[in-house]
Structure formats: structure tokens, C-alpha cells
Amino acid sequence: MAHHSHEHAEAHPEVGHVVPVKYLLGAGLALLVLTIITVATHSVDMGEANLPVALTIAMVKAVIVALIFMHLRWDRPFNLLVLVGSALFVLLMLAFAAMDVHQNEPSMFNGNAPTAESTLMEHAPGAPVAQRRSTNGGAGN
């Protein structure tokens, strides 16, 4: 249905691409299964790995939505470039914004949210991090 002959296409100038139902249903099913998987991995303690695993699954889901539901697999590549390009620019903004995240000394500015260490200093003074901080007055690096 999607691949008319050239003559046919001229007689009935159809545009776009008709995605087969099985692709759509398959994509929907895959998205639901991945949602269940990501909720299941949530209850497993993987330490530092929990966030990357969840984000990877989200990324796979996003690719499925973009390629199948949003037709990008059959669409003009330039539209894909627009999507990927905007995502890359968000990452660029994140990269530059993240560069100095740990370079601030929050205690220098009253009212700024304290760091994890200063929170521990107040609420769990026995914690090793808090002890290290309290010995140098909490104002050093």
C-alpha cells in the first residue's frame, strides 16, 4: 500500500507513509513492556546504576516513539536531524551548566541550600563526612 508505482502515485498523488498496523501495535506493546521493566528495576538496588538504567530504558522508549509513532523511520531525514539536533543542544546546555556545579561554596551565601555534607553535619554529626567537614570549620573546600 505504501509503495505505489510512480504512475499510480501521479494519478493519485498520495503523500506520507502508511505505517502497517503490526508496527504500531508492536511499538505500543514494546513501550508498555519497557514501562513494566523500568518500574521493576526501580525496586532493585543497583546503587549508582539505577539512574543510568532507568534513563537508558527511557531512551529506548523515546527512540521507539520517534521512529515508529512519529514516522521518522520513513520520514525525510531532515526532520530526524531537527529532533536530534534540538536534543543535542539541550545536552550542550546541560554540559556547560554542569561544569561548575560542585565549584560553589553554598555556606558563603546565606539562604542557599546547603550541601549534603553540611546537611549531615547538622543532622548526623557522627557521619564521617560531617566530621571531616567540622574539623576544618565547614568553610574550606
Partner 1 sequence: MTAHDQQHGHDHDHGHGHDGHHHDPNLAHHFDSLAQQFDSAKLGIWLFLATEILFFGGLFVAYAILRMRHPEIFSYASHYLDTIMGGINTCVLIVSSLTMALAVRCAQTNNRKGLIACLVLTFLGAVGFLVIKYFEYSHKLHDNLVWGPKFYVPPHTVEGQEEAKLLKTAPAAPGAAIVVNDPAPFAIPDLAKKPAVDASAVKSASAGPSGIARASGAPAPAPAAEPAPGPEEEAHPGTHLEDPNMPANTHLFFAIYYAMTGLHGIHVLAGMGILAWLTWRAVRGDFSSKNFTAVDTGGLYWHIVDLIWIFLFPLFYLIH
> Do residues 38 and 54 touch, judged by C-beta distance below 8 A?
yes
Determine, following the binding rule CB under 8 A, whether residue 7 of this chain makes contact with partner 1. Answer: no
Q: Whole-angstrom Cα distance, residue 18 to residue 66?
A: 15
Q: Whole-angstrom Cα distance, residue 91 to residue 86?
A: 9
Segment (H or E) for 81: helix 77-98
Determine, following the binding rule CB under 8 A, whether residue 74 of this chain makes contact with partner 1. Answer: no
Q: Whole-angstrom Cα distance, residue 59 to residue 65?
A: 10
For residue 137, the minimal CB distance to partner 1 (Å) is 18
Residues binding partner 1 (CB under 8 A)? 1, 12-16, 18-19, 21, 24-25, 27-28, 31-32, 35, 38-39, 42, 45-46, 50-51, 54-55, 57-58, 61-62, 65-66, 68-71, 75-76, 78-79, 82-83, 85-87, 89-90, 93-94, 97-98, 101-102, 110-116, 119, 122-123
